[in-house]
Structure 1
Amino acid sequence: MNLKKLELSLEQENELILEYESYVEDLLENEDVNKMKEFKHHHYTTCFDHSLNVSFYSFVIAKRLGLDYVSTARGGLLHDLFLYDWRSDEPREGKHAFAHPHIALRNAEKSFELNKIEKDIIVKHMWPVTIKLPKYKESFIVSCVDKYCATMEFSNGLAKKLRYQLM
């Protein structure tokens, strides 16, 4: 693959962002989605910011691959809609890593009509921690991007903390 093909002009990037926002606008206006801003997720990132990162990067990849990028964007934004502090509040359903995808799906279904791809994205985003394989390519993309974003968010936060301690 030619890396030049991956470069975007500022105008193309802005158009991509506007297109992305048009697909998730209703989600971004939702009270429960905005509650994700109240919960830290990967130490230095809120659940909302993490979900927005996962959603946008997954959208870009799915669009480039000619997949259902709208469902990818929407499912990616809702994948962690569990709405509790997983560090202090253990869900009744069991361990957070295994329970939160089902809790997120339940919460998302209360406010939005989801298609089969969006549901699969939400429930399967913890693969391979959870055993069931993603059924759709879009679900696999979100699962991989989720791990990438979590790693980057944690690493960036840790680097900031270490720089602060060394000063």
Structure 2
Amino acid sequence: MKNRKEINYEEMIRTLAKDPRVRRMAAFPQHGGVSTLEHAESVTRMSFRINAALHLNANPKTLLYGGMLHDYYLYDWHHHAGYLHGLTHPEAALERAEKDFDLPEGAKQVIRTHMWPLTLFHMPMSREAGIVCLADKVSAVWETLRKRGRS
């Protein structure tokens, strides 16, 4: 049986995912057959699970906005940026997210640092940023391996 926090986290994710601005991420592919929106939801769910499992007491609102908007760049990176995408998209996502949302301060750091260690000088410096960074890597590997398994 799910505890109350898990239900609330799912509700938080669903609510933000219904926002028309966030829904635009569904139009862009991420890894394999997964959209950027699906990837963001997966990263956010995993972030909440990591936080709960390790009793890290991270800020839920920061995890929510950081996880859901970490890839809020709104373009098909396969055609737009190619291999440089990993280095450039955190700033693009942050810039767009700051224009469209009133972000919690901690979420800005999460978005900017989620590609560490690739973005060497933008290291996660908060527990929320570390959690989302880890969840992003695990989700990306899972999504990529699932794609290869279907080939």
Alignment TM-score, normalising by the size of structure 1: 0.80
The match for 1:154 is 144
Q: Report the Cα distance in structure 2 between the residues aligned to 1:107 and 1:25, rounded to whole angstroms.
A: 21
CA shift for structure 1 position 120:
0.5
Gaps of 5+ in 2: none
| 1:44 paired residue among 33, 37, 51 | 33
Paired letter, 1:82 = Y
Residues 72 and 118, structure 1, Cα contact 8 Å, conserved in 2: yes
* Aligned pairs (5 A) from 1:104-143: 104-131=93-120, 132-143=122-133
Structure (1 or 2) with the larger CA radius of gyration:
1
* Matched length: 148
- Can you list the C-alpha shifts for 1:127-147, whole angstroms capped at 9, x where unaligned? 000012111011011111100
Residues 116 and 124, structure 2, Cα contact 8 Å, conserved in 1: yes
Residues 110, 29 of structure 1: alpha-carbon distance in 2 compared, 3 angstrom cutoff? farther
* Aligned pairs (5 A) from 1:74-93: 74-90=65-81
| 1:35 paired residue among 24, 28, 32 | 24
SS at match of 2:80: coil
Moved over 4 A (4+): none
The match for 1:98 is 87
TM-align CA RMSD: 1.9
Residues 43 and 68, structure 2, Cα contact 8 Å, conserved in 1: yes
The match for 1:164 is none
SS at match of 2:89: helix
**Which one scores higher on RCO, CA 8 angstroms, separation ≥ 6?**
2
Residues 65 and 104, structure 2, Cα contact 8 Å, conserved in 1: no
Mean CA deviation greater in 106-115 or 57-66: 57-66
CA shift for structure 1 position 25:
5.0
Alignment TM-score, normalising by the size of structure 2: 0.88
User: Percent of pairs identical after alignment?
Assistant: 32
CA shift for structure 1 position 33:
1.0
Residues 56 and 127, structure 2, Cα contact 8 Å, conserved in 1: no
